[in-house]
Structure formats: C-alpha cells, structure tokens
C-alpha cells in the first residue's frame, strides 16, 4: 500500500513538472511567432511589442533622446543601411548588410519607441531586415554615430511644405469622356503624373487617392486623402459638352469658403495655358468629391475634350507640364488657409 502511494505521489509530481514545462514552452513559442509577417525574402520574427516600458527614453547611455537606437556590427556603417517608409502599411523598413546571423539576438534595440507598435526582424544572406510598425505615417530621420543607427520618426507635416492628395477621376476600365480618339483618363493621368513630379521638386509630399487600375468610389478616395492627413486634394478632369463642340475653357470648383482660391487657380491656368475660363452654366453642380471632403478640394477641369482644339492641346506633354507647374505655384503662393482642414460641405452631389 505504501509502495503504491509513493509511486502515485512520484507520478503526480512528474506530471506537474511536465505540465509546467509544456506551458512554459508554449508561452516561449508564442512570443516568437514564425509565420506572423512574411517578407519578400525570408521571414520576420517579432522582437518586442509596445508596452509602457518601451516608451521610456534613454534606456542606455548611448541613446539619443527621441530616437530608436539600433546597434550596428563593427565595420558596418551608413553604406550598409537602407531605410524606407511604406506609408500604405504604416511601416518603416530597414535593411542592413554584412550582419552576423545572431547579432540582433545579442544586441537589443533601445531608446524611444513611443510611436512604434512593434518590431520584427528577419535575416537572409547576411542581410538583416527590420520592420517597424508605426502608429501613423512618419518620415524616417537617420543619424549614424557611436556604432549605432539612430532612427527618429518625424511627422510628415513637419518635413514638407504641404501634403497633397492627387485624385484622378477615372481608373480601372473607365475612360471618362472620349472625343477625337482622346480619352479623359489619358489626359488626367498625364497631368497627374507631371503634377506629382512638380510637387516633389517643390517639397510637397504627394499621395494618390487610388491606383490607376482601380476606379475607387468617392468614400474610398476621401478616406485615402484623410488617412495621410492631406492638406489639399487636387482632382484632375476634363470637361465635355454633348450639345455643341464649341464650348471651351478651364473650370476649377471648390467648397464655398475656397471659392476665391479656386478662381485664382483657374485664372492662373488660363493665363499660362493660353485658354479662357469656362462659362458658368445653371446646371453646374458641386462634384461629390468636393462636398464629401473635409479638407480643401480643387476640382480642376482642364478644358473641353469635346472641343477639338482643346482636346488635342490637353493631350500633349507640354500642356501637362505647364499645368502642373501652374497648379503647384498657385497652391504654394496662397496663404496658410489652403492647409486648413475645416472646409465646409455642400449637399449637391452630381459628379464624381
């Protein structure tokens, strides 16, 4: 009887030990999920999650206030490092070449993590790949010093003169208005591309409200602009008149409180492009994009595609470049109100 009792007691203790070890193993495995974030090459593994502790600044003597400290191996410097922002997924992606395979298992990150949700790490072919999930859209600010990469996250509004969302009214299979073998879409895409280039030259951060192969609806386009805290939306279109082919001219529509600025842009475009202002018509409504957005929208109709002379002119690269330069200059010459986000709304919705 005693032997049986002692045997059962020993078995109970052994079972409890195995249970504890199994639970500990599960917890350890859960903290390093192998399949959480696939990369183009290899896999990323979670290093840390944001907690109250990770918001502390200056965890080590080598830390810089306001920066995340990423240690670098001996001999690894700026030429080995690439840092890029992926705004669509709110990530900062870092690649560091010539890194020993277990380097970041022994050399931990420290410093300021208050705008970082979590950090993941992967390794392949002596290239360490690090992804930071950020709490918003930021511009990376890098400093190389003391054998470390110091990474700061700067608000894009602090880095650029303006944040602009460019909207092309048609995408996917939709061509918009068509005349003389020319489509509204090709004119809009050409001008939008030149506008993005000109914005970049002038220190304006640019986003598109949708991919060119997608005809996104109005709420999706407005949401895209709002998600990047755009100061302004520039929507590029052409005009059309099915009743006559002689109607011509440029038209710019905005919210009521931005009407004066819209008129200024239209006049500048007309003057630089050698066109007139389009006549106002009683049936002109407020485009849905204008009424749905909470930030200033400038809905630009560059000319009438149904007017052969204007259609052929709008389809040229020279026209697109001049239009882009004029729109950019007009926006940057305006007062600070153009960057406001309290534009009013109008309930008339007649055009996308």
Percent helix / strand / coil, the chain, rounded to 5: 35, 30, 35
Say if CB 104 and CB 51 are below 8 A apart.
no
Evaluate whether 34-155 and 160-339 have a shared fold: no
Rounded Cα distance between 120 and 30, Å, is 14
Say if CB 269 and CB 252 are below 8 A apart.
yes
Cα→Cα distances 328→71, 191, 205, 217, 275, Å: 41, 12, 12, 26, 18
H and E: helices and strands count for the chain: 9, 17
Residue extents of the structural domains in the chain: 34-155, 160-339
The residue among 149, 146, 152, 158 whose CA lies nearest residue 134 is 152
Class at the top of the CATH hierarchy for domain 160-339:
alpha beta
Within a 10 A sphere around the Cβ of 332, how many other Cβ atoms?
14
Query: What tens-digit pLDDT sequence spans the chain (352 residues)?
Result: 444 444 444 444 444 444 434 443 333 333 333 333 333 333 344 444 444 444 444 456 778 889 999 999 999 999 999 999 998 789 999 999 999 988 888 888 888 888 998 888 888 888 999 999 999 899 999 999 999 999 999 998 889 999 999 999 787 778 889 999 999 999 999 999 999 999 999 999 999 998 877 778 899 999 999 988 899 999 999 999 988 999 999 999 999 999 999 999 999 999 999 999 998 775 678 999 999 999 999 999 999 999 999 999 999 999 999 999 999 999 998 644 444 443 333 333 334 4
What CATH number matches the domain at 34-155, 3.30.460, 2.60.40, 1.10.3290, 1.10.260? 2.60.40
């Amino acid at each position: 009887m005693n032997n049986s009792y002692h045997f059962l007691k020993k078995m109970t203790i052994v079972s409890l030990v195995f249970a504890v070890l199994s639970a500990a193993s599960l917890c350890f495995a859960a903290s390093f999920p192998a399949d959480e974030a696939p990369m183009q090459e290899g896999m990323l593994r979670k290093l840390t999650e944001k907690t109250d502790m990770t918001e502390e600044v200056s965890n080590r003597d080598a830390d810089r206030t306001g920066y995340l400290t990423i240690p670098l191996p001996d001999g690894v410097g700026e030429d080995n490092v690439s840092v890029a922002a992926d705004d669509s997924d709110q990530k900062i992606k870092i690649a560091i070449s010539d890194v020993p395979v277990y380097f970041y298992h022994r050399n931990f990150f420290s410093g300021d993590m208050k705008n970082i949700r979590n950090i993941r790490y992967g390794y392949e072919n002596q290239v360490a790949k690090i992804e930071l999930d950020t709490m918003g859209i930021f511009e990376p600010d890098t400093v190389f010093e003391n054998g470390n990469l110091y990474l700061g996250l700067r608000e894009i509004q602090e880095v650029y003169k303006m944040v602009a969302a460019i909207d092309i009214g048609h995408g996917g299979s939709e061509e918009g208005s068509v005349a003389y073998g020319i489509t509204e879409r090709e004119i809009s895409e050409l001008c939008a591309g030149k506008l993005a280039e000109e914005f970049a030259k002038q220190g304006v951060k640019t986003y598109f409200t949708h991919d060119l192969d997608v005809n996104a609806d109005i709420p999706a386009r407005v949401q895209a602009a709002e998600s990047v805290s755009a100061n302004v939306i520039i929507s590029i279109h052409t005009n059309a008149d099915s009743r006559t082919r002689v109607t011509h001219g440029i038209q710019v529509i905005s919210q009521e409180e931005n009407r004066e600025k819209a008129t200024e842009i239209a006049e500048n475009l007309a003057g630089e492009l050698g066109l007139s202002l389009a006549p106002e018509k009683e049936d002109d409504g407020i485009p849905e994009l204008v009424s749905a957005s909470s930030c200033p929208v400038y809905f630009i109709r560059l000319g009438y595609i149904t007017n052969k002379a204007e259609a052929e002119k709008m389809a040229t690269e020279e026209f697109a470049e001049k239009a882009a330069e004029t729109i950019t200059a007009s926006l940057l010459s305006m007062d600070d109100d153009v960057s406001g986000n309290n534009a009013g709304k109008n309930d008339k919705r007649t055009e996308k």
